[in-house]
């Protein structure tokens, strides 16, 4: 199944793009997807933090199964002041 990916801020810089599509196997979760992306974009493996993730515009955890998901977004940690 094909999922649309979105990268924000420093993650887009490291991936070299703001969006792309990836084909994942049924039953895959966010953590497996991220490992695939680290292989595709090695600079993502060097970020030193675990990005926030949203599946179909709702925050999700790294064990979220991607079955039925159309879009996954990765965001750097949020900070405020």
Which tens digit of pLDDT belongs to each residue from 12-54?
999 999 999 999 999 999 999 999 999 999 999 999 889 999 9
| pLDDT band at residue 79 using 50, 70 and 90 as cut-offs | low
How is the beta sheet containing 19-23 ordered, strand by strand? 19-23, 2-7, 71-75, 52-55, 58-60
Q: What domains lie within the chain, and their CATH numbers? A: 2-75 (3.10.20.30)
The model's pTM: 0.92
Residue 50: CB partners within 8 Å, gap ≥ 6? 62
Taking a C-beta distance cutoff of 8 angstroms, is the pair 30, 59 a contact?
no
CA angle 27, 20, 32 (to 5 degrees): 30
């Amino acid at each position: 199944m094909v999922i649309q990916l979105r990268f924000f801020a420093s993650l887009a810089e490291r991936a070299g793009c703001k969006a792309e599509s990836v084909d994942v196997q049924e039953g895959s979760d966010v953590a497996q997807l991220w490992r695939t992306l680290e292989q595709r974009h090695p600079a993502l493996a060097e970020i030193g933090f675990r990005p926030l993730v949203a599946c179909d515009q709702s925050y999700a955890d790294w064990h979220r199964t991607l079955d039925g998901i159309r879009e996954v977004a990765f965001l750097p940690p949020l900070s405020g002041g």
